[in-house]
Amino acid sequence: MFLGSGSVIHGMEGEQDMRRMGGLFKKMPITAVTFIVGWLAIIGFPFFAGFFSKDEILLFAFDKSPVLWLIGMAAAVLTGFYMTRQVIMVFFGEPRWDRPMEEAVPELYAEREAAGIHPGHGAGPVEPIHPHESPWTMTVPLIILGPLALIGGWLNSAFWERGKFLEHWLEPVVEFGEAHLVHANTTEEKIILGFAATLAGLAGLLAAWFVYGRNKGEAKDRIELKVLAKGWYYDSSIAAFMGGPGRKGFDAIAWFDKHIIDGAVNGVASVVKVSSDKGRTVQTGYVRNYALGLLIGAIVVAGLILTKAVY
What pLDDT is stored for residue 227 in this prediction? 65
**Which amino acid is located at 226 in the chain?**
K
- pLDDT number for residue 222: 46
Give the mean model confidence (pLDDT) for residues 58-85.
Answer: 90
Q: In this predicted structure, what is the pLDDT of residue 70?
A: 93
Number of Cβ within a 10 Å radius of residue 198: 19
pLDDT at 4: 92
Short-list 37, 58, 57, 41, CA closest to 49 = 41
Cβ proximity of 118 and 66 under 8 Å: no
Q: H or E stretch including 11? A: helix 2-11
What pTM was estimated for this model as a whole? 0.66
Count of residues for the chain?
311
Residue 129 is given by DSSP the state P
What is the C-alpha to C-alpha distance for residues 17 and 184, in angstroms, rounded to an integer?
Answer: 43
Residues 245-268: tens digit of each pLDDT: 888 888 889 889 988 888 888 888
Nearest to 149 by CA among 55, 41, 51, 47: 41
**Cβ atoms < 10 Å from Cβ of 5:** 15
Does 176 have pLDDT greater than 50?
yes
Contacts of 209 (CB under 8 A, 6+ apart): 84, 88
Which residue, 108, 149, 129, is CA-closest to 17? Answer: 108
Residues 120, 126: Cα–Cα separation, whole Å: 10
Q: How many angstroms separate the Cα of 268 from the Cα of each of 35, 260, 263, 264?
A: 57, 12, 9, 6
Share above pLDDT 90 across residues of the chain, in percent, rounded to a whole number: 24
The 10s digit of each residue's pLDDT in 259-295 is: 888 888 888 888 888 888 877 777 777 788 888 888 9
Residue (of 208, 231, 220, 224) closest to 79 by Cα position: 208
A 10 A CB-CB count for 42 gives: 19
Residue 215, pLDDT above cutoff 80: no
Backbone angles phi, psi at 241, to 5 degrees: -70, -45
In terms of Cβ atoms closer than 10 Å to its own Cβ (0-12, 13-18, 19+), residue 126 is middle
State the Cα–Cα distance between residues 132 and 308, nearest whole angstrom. Answer: 94
Query: For residues 230 and 96, what is the distance between their CA atoms, to the nearest angstrom?
Result: 18
Look over the chain and give the mean of its residue pLDDT values, rounded to a whole number. 82
3-state SS assignment for residue 119: strand
Say how far apart CA 30 and CA 240 lie, in whole Å: 36
